[in-house]
Amino acid sequence: MDTSNPTVFVNAELLGRYVGRKVRAVIQVIRNDGAAVIGKSTDEKQITVKGLPPSQLTTFVEVIGIADGQNSIAADKWTNFGDNFDIFTYNKLCQLANGEYQHLFL
Amino acid sequence: MAKTVTPDAIAIMRSNPSPDSSADVPEIVVQVLDLKSTGSRSRFMFTANDGKMKLKGILPSNVESEILSGSIQNLGLMRILDYTLNDIPNKSDKYLVVNKCEAVSPALEMEVKSDVGDPDSGILLKLKQENQVRTAAGVPLKPKQEMVAKSAAQIVHEQHRNMAPAARLAMTRRVHPLVSLNPYQGSWTIKVRVTSKGSMRTYRNTKGEGCVFNVELTDEDGTQIQATMFNQAAKKFFDKLEMGKVYYISKGTLKVANKQFKTVQNDYEMTLNENSEVEEASNEASFVPETKFTFVPIDMLGPHVNGKELVDVIGVVQRVSPTMSIRRKSNNEIIPKRDITIADETKKTVVVSLWNELATTVGQELLDSADQSPIVAIKSLKVGDFQGVSLSTVNNSIVKVNPETPEAKKLRSWFDSEGKASSMDSVGSGIMASSRNGSRSMYSDRVFVSHFTSNPSLGEDKPAFFSVRAYVSFIKPDQTMWYRACKTCNKKVTEAIGSGYWCEGCQKNDEGCSLRYIMVVKVSDPSGEVWLSAFNEEAEHIIGCPADELNLLKSQENEENPYQLKLKQAIWVPHLFRVSVAQHEYMSEKRQRITVRGVAPVDFAAESRFLLEEISKQKASQ
CB contact under 8 A, A89 and B430: no
Q: For residue B524, is pLDDT > 90?
A: yes
A86 part of contact set with chain B, CB < 8 Å: yes
Tell me if residue B33 falls in helix, strand or coil: strand
Q: What angle do CA B558, B559, B563 make, to 5 degrees?
A: 65
Q: What's residue B41's pLDDT?
A: 57
Q: What percent of chain B has pLDDT over 70?
A: 84
Q: What does the alpha-carbon distance between residue B470 and residue B448 come to, in Å, rounded to a whole number? A: 8
Structural domain total, chain A = 1
Provide the percentage of residues in chain B whose pLDDT is more than 90. Answer: 15
* B interface with A, Cβ–Cβ below 8 Å: 430, 604-605, 608-609, 612, 615, 619
Is 80 exceeded by the pLDDT of residue B259? no
Residue A105, chain B, CB below 8 Å: the answer is no
A2 part of a folded domain: no
Residue of A45, A60, A92 for testing the chain B interface, max B β-carbons within 10 Å = A92
pLDDT attached to residue B405: 85
Cβ-count burial B143-165 (b if 16+ within 10 Å, e if not): eeeebebbbbbbbbbeeeeeeee
Quote the pLDDT of residue B290.
63
Question: Nearest CA to B87 among B158, B2, B184?
Answer: B158
Contact A88 B609 (CB under 8 A): yes
Other C-beta atoms closer than 10 Å to the C-beta of B503 total 23
* Across B595-615, average pLDDT: 88
Residue B288 pLDDT > 70, yes or no? no
The CATH number of the domain holding residue A93 is 2.40.50.140
B261 confidence band (pLDDT: 50, 70, 90): low
- For the segment B130-142, the average pLDDT, to the nearest whole number, is 42
Lowest model confidence (mean pLDDT) among B227-241, B269-283, B295-309, B509-523: B295-309
In this structure, is residue A102 part of a structural domain?
A: no
User: Do the Cβ atoms of A88 and B615 come within 8 Å?
Assistant: no
Highest mean pLDDT among B150-154, B260-264, B401-405: B401-405
In a domain, A27, yes or no: yes
How open is the CA angle B497-B499-B502, to the nearest 5 degrees? 65
If residue A49 lies in a helix (H) or strand (E), which one and from where to where?
Answer: strand A46-50
Q: Pick left, alpha or beta for residue B303 (phi over 0 → left; psi -120 to 50 → alpha; otherwise beta).
A: alpha
For residue B66, is pLDDT > 70? yes
Give the best residue of B418, B608, B610, B618 to mutate against chain A (max A CB count within 10 A). B608
Q: How far is B272 from chain A (nearest CA, A)?
A: 43
**pLDDT for B252 beyond 70:** yes
* A43 contacts on B by Cβ (under 8 Å): none
Residue A100 pLDDT > 60, yes or no?
yes
Q: Which helix (H) or strand (E) holds B522?
A: strand B514-525
DSSP single-letter state for residue A18? G
What is the spatial distance between Cα B13 and Cα B307, in angstroms, rounded to a whole number?
Answer: 53
* Between B100 and B174, the higher pLDDT residue: B100
Domain assignment present for residue A104? The answer is: no
Q: Is A99 in the B-facing interface, judged by CB distances under 8 Å?
A: no
The answer to whether residues A8 and A15 touch, using CB atoms and an 8 Å cutoff, is no
| Of the ranges A59-73, B95-109, B243-257, B321-335, the best mean pLDDT one | A59-73
Range in B37-46, B221-230, B403-412 with the lowest mean pLDDT:
B37-46
A87 CB within 8 Å of a chain B CB: no
Q: Is residue A81 part of a domain?
A: yes
Predicted pLDDT of residue A4 = 65
Does pLDDT of B433 surpass 60? no
pLDDT at residue B445 is higher than 60 = yes
pLDDT at A35 over 50: yes
Mean pLDDT of all residues in B456-485: 89
Does B129 score more than 60 pLDDT? no
Checking if the pLDDT of B351 tops 50, the result is yes
Average pLDDT over residues B101-126: 62
Q: How far is CA B325 from CA B57, B334, B500, B562, B612, in A?
A: 42, 6, 68, 66, 38
Position B539 scores a pLDDT of 92
**Higher pLDDT, residue B428 or B474:** B474
What's the rounded Cα separation, in Å, for the pair B161 and A15? Answer: 70
pLDDT, averaged across chain A: 90
Does residue B23 surpass a pLDDT of 60?
yes
- The answer on pLDDT for B24 being more than 90 is no
| Beta carbons of B599 and B469 less than 8 angstroms apart | no
Sort out which chain B residues have CB atoms less than 8 A from A86's CB and list them: 604-605, 608-609
A89 vs B: CB within 8 A: yes
Closest CA to B316 of B371, B357, B248: B371
Task: Look at residue A26 and tell me whether its pLDDT is greater than 90.
Answer: yes
What is the pLDDT at residue B429?
63
Nearest C-alpha of chain B: how many angstroms from A83?
A: 13
Mark yes or no for CB contact B430/A88 under 8 Å.
Answer: yes
Measure CB to CB from residue B605 to each of A86, A96, A100 and give the nearest one: A86
Cβ-Cβ contacts under 8 Å for B478 (sequence gap 6 or more) = none
Q: Does the structure show a pLDDT above 80 at B431?
A: no
A73 belongs to a structural domain: yes
Contact B602, B574 (CB under 8 A): yes
So what's the pLDDT on residue A96? 92
A53 pLDDT more than 50: yes
Chain A residues with beta carbon closer than 8 angstroms to that of B604: 86
Residue A38 falls within a domain, yes or no? yes
Check CB contact of A40 with chain B, cutoff 8 Å: no
B30, B80 contact by CB (below 8 A): yes
Show residues of chain A in contact with B348, CB under 8 Å: none
pLDDT at B265 over 80: no
Burial status of residue B576 (CB atoms within 10 A of its CB: 0-12, 13-18, 19 or more): buried
Q: Give me the domain span that covers residue A29.
A: 8-97
Does the distance separating the beta carbons of B615 and A89 come in below 8 Å?
A: no
* B156-170, B303-317, B358-372, B591-605: range with lowest mean pLDDT: B156-170
Q: Tell me, what's the pLDDT at A2?
A: 58
In chain B, which residues have their Cβ closer than 8 Å to the Cβ of A96?
615
Q: Is pLDDT of B286 > 80?
A: no
**Mean pLDDT computed over B551-557:** 85
pLDDT bin (cut points 50, 70, 90) of residue A1 is low
CB B452 within 8 A of CB B529: no
* A40 vs A56: CA distance, rounded Å: 18
